[in-house]
Amino acid sequence: MSNPNKVSATTRLVSMYHPTHHPFKNSAVGTLGPITMKTPKRDGWGMGDLSADGRARLAKLTAVEPANRPLPPTPLYSGLLNFVFPLINIVTRLKISGMEHIPRTGPLIVAANHLSHVDPVLAIFSSRRKLFYLAKNEHFSKPGWRQLMLATGQVETDRQKGGDDAIARAADVLAAGMPLGIFPEGTRSRNASPPYLSRGKTGIARIAAAFPDTPVVFCGINGARDILAPGEPFLPKTWKRTELKFASPITWNEWASHDDGANLDDDTVAEIEGMSDKKRREELGKLYRQFTNQSIATIAALGAP
């Protein structure tokens, strides 16, 4: 019997981008360019020749085991959202667009570029959701930081266990029906000058594929580095202008069957099922890389520098 924690379900609207040529010309990202998907209709648009059975079989191939560790309690999170975060409107020059695309309830993945330590704060405030972010365990050992990290929904991951622990902890968040914040680049950009956006890691794709009906909302953040650049003392320049743009959601299932996505059908899924373990990992890896590349292209098109 399949593990119910391996699959979540909520279908949303679509907007994503397809690899062609990219005006930013970021060699680290590759040659990427936008093709916006059409808004799906209620009569089952977006699933193409990939049937419900095909989607279920694909979900078994891409499932991941959650870590089954409890999420941190968040007693201060509501207070921060309702009373403290609104002060950001007063002390910053923040422009937000696309908030209407963010589902107000249920599991969700918010994926943004990462330039600064203030990025999670900006994403949480702008989305108005209690996003759970994955954070390396070193942050939890700093004096005074552990309580703040736990109170604001930061989920501790063990880097010594590799990326699988982070994927499993992300599965814990989504299986609990909570919203997950993620940076597809995996870490803050180390580039000293633009373009800052780097080649994404496939964790975003693996998580989306494991929860194939959970909406993924991409976000472009521009200006966070001006507020607090890497290596600077923690003295945010809150007067600097910052902009966040959110795209319409897409799910893995919508992407997998769309002409501008993986364009899978039942026959292709059957072929993947019949492959050797090694070959199957390679084919799924190609899908994960394509989804990740298009994720980065989408974030770039949303204004990420």
**Domain spans, the chain:** 4-301
Distances 146 to 72, 117, 137 between C-alpha atoms, Å: 11, 15, 10
The tens place of each residue's pLDDT in the chain, 305 residues long, gives 334 333 332 223 334 554 433 322 233 333 333 433 333 333 333 445 899 999 999 999 999 999 999 988 787 787 777 777 677 777 788 899 999 999 999 999 999 999 988 898 889 889 989 999 987 777 677 776 777 777 777 887 776 666 888 899 999 999 999 999 999 998 888 777 889 999 999 999 999 999 999 999 999 999 888 888 887 877 888 788 899 999 999 999 999 999 999 999 999 999 999 999 999 999 999 999 999 999 999 999 999 99
- What are the structure tokens assigned to 152, written together? 């604001």
Summarize pLDDT for 69-126 with one digit per residue, the tens: 998 878 778 777 777 767 777 778 889 999 999 999 999 999 999 998 889 888 988 9
Q: What is the pLDDT of residue 261?
A: 95
For residues 148 and 150, give the distance between their C-alpha atoms in angstroms, rounded to a whole number: 6
For residues 250 and 12, give the distance between their C-alpha atoms in angstroms, rounded to a whole number: 6
Q: What is the pLDDT of residue 101?
A: 96
- C-alpha 54, offset from chain centre: 24
Q: Are strands 132-136 and 179-182 parallel, antiparallel or unpaired?
A: parallel
Q: What is the pLDDT of residue 136?
A: 73
What is the pTM for the complete model shown?
0.82
Q: What is the pLDDT of residue 139?
A: 66
Which burial class, exposed, middle or buried, applies to 181 when counting CB atoms under 10 A from its CB (0-12, 13-18, 19+)? buried
Q: State residue 202 phi and psi, 5-degree precision.
A: -80, 5
All residues at 6 or more sequence positions from 56 whose CB lies less than 8 Å from its CB, including other chains: none
| Domain 4-301 indexed as CATH 3.40.1130 | yes
Q: What is the pLDDT of residue 194?
A: 86
- C-alpha 295, offset from chain centre: 8
Q: What is the pLDDT of residue 142?
A: 72
Distances 204 to 9, 145, 164, 181, 183 between C-alpha atoms, Å: 17, 26, 12, 10, 8
For residues 139 and 214, give the distance between their C-alpha atoms in angstroms, rounded to a whole number: 28
Q: 3-state DSSP call for residue 110? A: strand
